[in-house]
Amino acid sequence: MDDLTKTNASALTENALYAEYTKAVDPQRSGIINKVPFYNFSSSLHESGESAIHPLDISSSLGIPGPATSPCLCANFIRLLKNTSLKTTHNASSELFYVINGAGYSLFEGIKIPWQKGDFVVVPAGKNIEHFGVSEESSLYLIHDQPLLDYLGVTPSKQKFKPTLFTNEKSKKELDQVKREGNAVNRSRISVILVNKAMDQTLSASHTMWAMLGVLPKEASQLAHRHQSVALDLILDCKPGCYTLVGDKIDNKGNIINPIREEWKPNSAFITPPGLWHAHFNESGQDVNFIPIQDAGLHIYLRTLDIKFVLPNQQIPTA
């Protein structure tokens, strides 16, 4: 073997490692990869100050490059004052934002997208999108999937769908229709999923992101459920008395064992980690709307969402 062949062989094998199966099959349990933490973000980030983008960044806790709010997604609060604009330029396959307050418009590759409070906007991959404030104050909750693309080491080369606007008027009309349906009270969820026409298999807002507009009726207890996607939940206007319980186990009646309690706060957000049981409660005396945004579009396509619900009067076997 000549010297050049020896050098090439060394370079090809220097990164080859081996690990015993039981130690490597579950890197999270062994502590090699960090769990997604339960975390909350205050509305104060977008309620005062100059126009700015505030990434909801927990990348240091995840042990990954940032900013990132989950391994696949990055959520942001954006504050826009009147007659100001901000560009969002991400290495992302799609961006989704919800208008918390105010009104304005966004320019995306020559397309003007007007928006107002309660609207959702989804755009595909692009060089940048610029957001303009028209009201005295506007706040956006914007999520993109750059953390996923950065992990894969790729850049988007093709737009998979057209920019899409889900108006507040239409979204609320659809949700009201669901609420009026006769069996709504017996459903685990009273909500509507935002579906982009191009996502005919995953029924999601984009090929990575899934978004829901839901209502938690007053004095309601939403039974426990779990899924393998990370939920980045935005709470809309609510009074004290709304909260979520989160834990990794349930008893044989579907109650979460030793849960963490997260109090809902208006126009704030929190992370619900994957695989944990969680249930929502409303003791505030008024209906409350909330918006979970997840990487479920990707999970649905991979057939790995594994969503499970506790049903009324269901007896659950214990181990």
Q: pLDDT above 90 covers what percent of the chain? A: 79
Predicted local distance difference test score (pLDDT) of residue 126: 81
Residue 7 within any structural domain of the chain: no
pTM of the model: 0.93
Residue 30 within any structural domain of the chain: no
Tell me what the mean pLDDT of segment 153-176 comes to: 96
Predicted local distance difference test score (pLDDT) of residue 8: 79
Residue 263 within any structural domain of the chain: yes
Residue 12 within any structural domain of the chain: no
Name the amino acid, one letter, at 46.
Answer: H
Question: What digits encode the pLDDT tens for the residues 102-129?
Answer: 999 999 999 999 999 999 999 998 878 9
Question: What digits encode the pLDDT tens for the residues 33-62?
Answer: 999 999 999 999 999 999 999 999 999 999
Predicted local distance difference test score (pLDDT) of residue 30: 83
Question: What digits encode the pLDDT tens for the residues 266-292?
Answer: 999 999 999 999 999 999 999 999 999
Predicted local distance difference test score (pLDDT) of residue 80: 98
Identify the residue with better confidence: 29 or 298: 298
Residue 276 within any structural domain of the chain: yes
Predicted local distance difference test score (pLDDT) of residue 189: 77
Instruction: Give the tokens for residue 70.
Output: 């989950």
Q: What is the CATH number of the domain that holds 174?
A: 2.60.120.10
Full domain range(s) for residue 301: 39-309
Identify the residue with better confidence: 183 or 164: 164
Rounded to whole angstroms, the Cα distance separating 277 from 283 reads: 20
Predicted local distance difference test score (pLDDT) of residue 59: 97
Predicted confidence band of residue 317 (pLDDT cuts 50, 70, 90): low
Predicted confidence band of residue 70 (pLDDT cuts 50, 70, 90): very high
Rounded to whole angstroms, the Cα distance separating 121 from 97 reads: 5
**How many domains in the chain?**
1
- List the single range of 24-28, 41-45, 60-64, 150-154 with lowest mean pLDDT: 24-28
Residue 2 within any structural domain of the chain: no
Residue 9 within any structural domain of the chain: no
Exposure string of 83-93, with b = 16+ CB inside 10 Å and e = fewer, is eeebebebebb
Count of beta carbons in the 10 Å neighbourhood of residue 99:
22
Residue 6 within any structural domain of the chain: no
Identify the residue with better confidence: 30 or 303: 303
> Which of 44, 104, 93, 53 minimizes the C-alpha distance to 75?
53
